[in-house]
Amino acid sequence: MLVLLPPSETKRPGGDGAPLDLGALALPSLRSPREQVVEGLVALSADAEASARVLKLSARRLHEVADNAALRTAPTLPALDRYTGVLFDALAADTLDVPARAWVGRHVLIHSAPFGPVGALDGIPAYRLAASTSVPGLPPLRRVWADAVSAALHQAAPDFVLDLRSEAYAALGPLPAGVDGVYVRVVSEGADGAARALNHFNKKAKGELVRLLARTEAGVRSRSDLLAWARTAGLVLRESAEREMELVV
């Protein structure tokens, strides 16, 4: 199974890993678009005022211009440790034991805007770029990434993909038709039985789901395996549409 996660806007600064090596990241066929986006961000960072405007930076986030300027030279952290925020706080990677962290390393990709999907343990620097941002000199990110990421996922040939990305990041690399997988929506049920989408708890539930998968070292290879595992784990996961499931919390 391959699990796709969205990134987070908030990130842990610093790091102690070697500088970014685009050739060492997961899905190596994405080297060319990675180079393209990194080059565009580094070039944009030469103009602090333009960077602040394009990246929609508040006064207290202006240091992120320097982060982008140093993309090729800054120290790195594993992507799993770089991202913070609700989803990654719930996943709590720093408290996983060695087997669980290794499971995440084998099965999880985090879909970033500048690097595309990267392995959970791939080293990445701090950066600022969202899926919806238009970088001067580059095509829209959807045009940069969508076909390339879909082709890379098809080439990776996973047995099954559990897509936990937000819709914005799923659009940067739709699951190809030849790959079995499901997109998960987190919902709650009202007294009337109607399912309602969640926001904050959507992210928290996805983090907790991946943590539980890792701690149980889940051997999921199909949607039927996933549903069976969920029942065993005490989760309410159900098919809701073609290639979609709902996680009820």
Give me the pLDDT at residue 196, please: 72
Q: What is the pLDDT of residues 136-150, one digit of tens each?
A: 999 999 999 999 999
Give me the pLDDT at residue 189, please: 76
Mean pLDDT of the chain: 95
pTM reported for the whole predicted model: 0.95
Residue 93 and residue 82 in contact, taking contact as beta carbons nearer than 8 Å: no
**Angstrom distances, CA of residue 105 to CA of 8, 155, 203:** 18, 19, 20
Spell out the domain ranges in the chain. 2-248
**Helix/strand/coil percent split, the chain, to 5:** 45, 20, 40
Output Rg (C-alpha) for the chain, integer angstroms.
Answer: 18
| Residue 194 clears pLDDT 70, i.e. is over it | no
Alpha helices in the chain (DSSP H): 31-44, 48-55, 63-69, 79-82, 86-91, 98-107, 141-156, 167-170, 200-215, 223-233
- Angle between helices 200-215 and 98-107 in degrees, nearest 10: 110
Q: Which two tokens stand for residue 140?
A: 């829209």
Binned at pLDDT 50, 70 and 90, residue 1 comes out as very high
Q: What is the pLDDT of residues 30-88, one digit of tens each?
A: 999 999 999 999 999 999 999 999 999 998 999 999 999 999 999 999 999 999 999 99
